[in-house]
């Protein structure tokens, strides 16, 4: 039996050889998945069962041995997220959004100071990058408790103040029904988590899980209110607000792991309402000083520029702010 994971990413000419190795073939894939896609016209349409630029399994729809099922697709961008998504795929002629400006809203109560400035920006729906300067030195690139503490403090103030996510509902043709779905801590209207903390490195995720568990205990939260995860295990998931540790934070150079566009795409495209990416300061310096490396291999997301150029293009779409820590905290 041959299992083909991410079958929608496999073009027919690559499928021909392994297809002869087993009498039973099981393909699993998401027709609405963002990365990676073939070079060409935007193949990401979102129409049920329709994706003309993917060879498999559409080429076998009439085969009595083939079974397929429509599952919920990965989230597509709101109007405020379009610039970020286009930065991943500048060669696409078009990319449609699924919600008009204002149809996804984040309502925040009594915040003040830095937390108010940060979460007010996140509530606009436009992706936010917060660079933190003046922190104590981390133990390593993947052991950065001072940066995780910044994330914990921001979330602490958000849950202490209270917030709600609102979503205008549409019918099957995309016309607003006049109904608005509201989710808030302790009163989520769906199984989709309200806030998710994402990191690429395992130790960073372990530290984030510790912060999340402390916040859950403090405010009586459930996993549907707040959780932490590795980026790799969050593929195919969506959530209201993403708070992510940038994969390049603390890095001394671009390598195959920390500069992978697949991980960055998942980091940046899971949130339905707001995205906050946190990093130590110095991302611009890292990218400008990084030595030239070959472009991304065929089949990887992003266009065929040097990795540092694609990362620079993506960062340019964020609303950016700098937080200066005092006394290393």
Summarised one tens digit per residue, pLDDT across range 238-293 is 899 999 999 999 888 888 788 877 788 889 988 999 999 999 999 999 988 887 66
Residue 70 in contact with residue 49, Cβ under 8 Å? yes
What's the CA gap between 264 and 259, in Å, rounded?
8
Whole-angstrom Cα Rg for the chain: 21
Helices (H), 162-289: 202-219, 261-269, 283-289
User: What's the pLDDT tens digit per position in 25-83?
Assistant: 887 765 544 444 334 444 444 444 444 444 445 556 677 776 666 544 455 688 899 99
Give the chain's length: 329
Q: With CA atoms as reference, report the closest residue to 158 among 200, 218, 101.
A: 218
Average of pLDDT values for 213-223?
Answer: 95
Q: With CA atoms as reference, report the closest residue to 317 among 128, 154, 185.
A: 128
What's the CA gap between 48 and 36, in Å, rounded?
20
What's the CA gap between 116 and 161, in Å, rounded?
10
User: What's the pLDDT tens digit per position in 128-139?
Assistant: 999 999 988 888
Strands 176-183 and 195-199 turn out to be unpaired
pLDDT value for 142:
74
For the whole model, what pTM was predicted?
Answer: 0.79
């Amino acid at each position: 039996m041959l299992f083909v994971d991410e079958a929608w990413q496999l073009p027919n000419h690559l499928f021909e050889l392994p297809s002869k190795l087993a009498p039973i073939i099981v393909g699993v894939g998401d027709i609405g998945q963002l990365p990676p896609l073939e070079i060409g016209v935007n193949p990401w349409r979102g129409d049920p069962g329709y994706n003309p630029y993917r060879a498999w399994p559409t080429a076998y729809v009439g085969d009595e041995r083939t079974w397929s099922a429509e599952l919920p697709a990965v989230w597509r961008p709101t109007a405020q997220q379009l610039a970020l998504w286009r930065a991943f795929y500048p060669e696409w002629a078009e990319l449609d959004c699924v919600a008009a400006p204002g149809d996804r809203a984040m309502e925040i109560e009594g915040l003040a100071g830095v937390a108010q400035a940060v979460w007010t920006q996140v509530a606009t729906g436009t992706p936010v990058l917060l660079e933190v300067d003046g922190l104590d030195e981390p133990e390593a690139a993947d052991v950065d408790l001072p940066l995780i503490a910044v994330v914990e403090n921001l979330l602490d103030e958000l849950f202490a103040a209270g917030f709600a996510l609102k979503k205008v509902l549409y019918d099957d043709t995309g016309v607003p029904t006049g109904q608005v779905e509201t989710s808030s801590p302790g009163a989520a209207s769906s199984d989709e988590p309200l806030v998710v903390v994402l990191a690429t490195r395992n130790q960073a995720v372990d530290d984030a899980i510790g912060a999340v568990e402390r916040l859950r205990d403090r405010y009586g939260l459930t996993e549907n209110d707040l959780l932490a995860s590795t980026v790799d295990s969050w593929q195919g998931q969506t959530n209201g607000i993403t708070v992510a540790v940038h994969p390049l934070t603390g890095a001394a150079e671009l390598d195959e792991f920390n500069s992978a566009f697949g991980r960055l795409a998942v980091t940046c495209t899971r949130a339905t309402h707001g995205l906050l990416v946190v990093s130590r300061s110095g991302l611009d310096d890292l990218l400008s000083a990084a030595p030239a490396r070959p472009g991304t291999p065929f089949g990887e997301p992003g266009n065929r520029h040097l990795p540092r150029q694609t990362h620079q293009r993506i960062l340019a779409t964020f609303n950016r702010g700098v937080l200066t820590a005092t006394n290393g905290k």
